[in-house]
Amino acid sequence: MINQKSPNNSQATGKRRKWVTILILMGIILISALISSMFVTVSETESVIVERLGKIVAIYDQPTDKGIHWKFPWPLETVRKFDQRIQIYDPPGREFFTQDKKNIIVDTYLCWKIARPSETSSPEERPVLKFFRSLGDPEIAEARLDSRLRSILSTQLGKLKLTDILNVKNSEAGPENLSKTQLDHISETILKQLNQQKNETDNLISRLGIDIVDVRIKRINLPYGNLQSVYERMKSERKKIADRYRSAGQAENQMIRSQADRHYSEFIAKANREAARIKAEAEAKAVQIVNESHARDPEFYQFLQTLDSYEKILNEKTSLILSLKNPLMKLFSDGVSLNKISVPPKKETKKTNSTQKKKQTNLKTKNGNEEGS
């Protein structure tokens, strides 16, 4: 006879096995978490405080403390970690008043960190322990620093006028050539007073374990209601400067133009004077040449003058009534004598051709006589 298990028994067995598996997994997880909580890892960028039931039993903030350390599991011992790197706190810009009652919006930033301990300092003097006991959290520390910064900044800006704060000796100089401005001096004063004020006996490192690295004013602006009037005044001032440069440029332009006109007049007068001299010399030379030509053959000159008179007087519609004794009728009555108007031969510079030229001249004269007869 075969015994068969009922379906109810098989389901109950499966549920028990499932719960047993879940319990085993939970036990493994709890044991792993318990074992992992027995170790603490200290990195290069942080400091660690170990508490046992509310009492501090270990501080790991030295360079030799970096690595893995053993402790009792949670909840017997708990771990608190603090970042040792520089923290940058950038609060929003706030409105302050200057000595001359001008309201300005100043935007600053603050660099701080938990101070590094000395190798010989006792556990009670460790900066990280003071930070934990006095502040306990970076947000609380930044709130305290913000309140302290606002008070010091208000006092320092209240001692200065707006023109002193915004005054720059050379606005066109490069960053490497700029000397310290009033803002740099204000930042140095704020840094000193943040660390320790005159009425305080201890600095921030001794009291809170905080080291202020740097404080800077990164922007100074005017309230929105005053911007438009300031912009208009800046425009008017820039316009005055532009007009001054423009008038200076026009004066320089007028001076350059007057100098150019003066040089131009001098050059033109010199050129005209030189042209008149050359023209006078040329006219004198021409008159000399004409006179020499007339003196060489006056009859030929008179013949040419008569021909010019004919050209000017006579045309198709001209009718002249002249006596026979008139010089203009002489050519018509007597004719032209080639002997009288013969052109004298040109003088040759070469002696070898002088004889040949004379022969040619005599031949031309002989032929002219024959033709005239």
264 or 74, higher pLDDT? 264
pLDDT (0 to 100) of residue 179: 60
What is the percentage of the chain residues whose pLDDT exceeds 90? 18
Residues sharing a CB contact under 8 Å with residue 82, sequence separation 6 or more, in sequence order = 46, 47, 48, 49, 114, 128, 131, 132
2 or 92, higher pLDDT? 92
DSSP state for residue 91 in the 8-state scheme: P
266 or 6, higher pLDDT? 266
Q: What is the pLDDT of residues 197-243, one digit of tens each?
A: 888 888 888 888 889 999 988 888 888 777 777 788 888 888 999 99
135 or 307, higher pLDDT? 135
Q: How far is CA 101 from CA 63, 161, 181, in A?
A: 51, 8, 21
pLDDT (0 to 100) of residue 272: 94
Residues sharing a CB contact under 8 Å with residue 317, sequence separation 6 or more, in sequence order = none
What is the percentage of the chain residues whose pLDDT exceeds 70? 79
pLDDT (0 to 100) of residue 256: 94
| Mean pLDDT confidence for 297-320 | 77
pTM: predicted TM-score of the whole model, two decimal places = 0.53
**Any idea which of 146-150, 291-295, 303-307, 360-364 has the lowest mean pLDDT?**
360-364
305 or 214, higher pLDDT? 214
Q: What is the pLDDT of residues 238-287, one digit of tens each?
A: 899 999 999 999 999 999 999 999 999 999 999 999 999 999 999 999 98
Select from 109, 99, 170 the least CA-distant residue to 142: 109
| Mean pLDDT confidence for 30-42 | 73
Q: Which sequence spans correspond to the domains of the chain?
A: 33-84, 86-170+179-221, 227-296
Three-class DSSP category at 196: coil
Q: What is the pLDDT of residues 51-70, one digit of tens each?
A: 888 788 888 888 787 878 77
pLDDT (0 to 100) of residue 6: 57
43 or 335, higher pLDDT? 43
The architecture CATH gives domain 86-170+179-221: 2-Layer Sandwich (3.30)
Are 148 and 252 contacting, i.e. CB atoms less than 8 angstroms apart? no
pLDDT (0 to 100) of residue 295: 81
Write down the mean pLDDT value for the chain.
78
pLDDT at position 1 over 50: no
pLDDT at position 76 over 50: yes
Select from 89, 95, 193, 175 the least CA-distant residue to 140: 89
- CA quadruple 85, 91, 93, 96: dihedral sign: negative
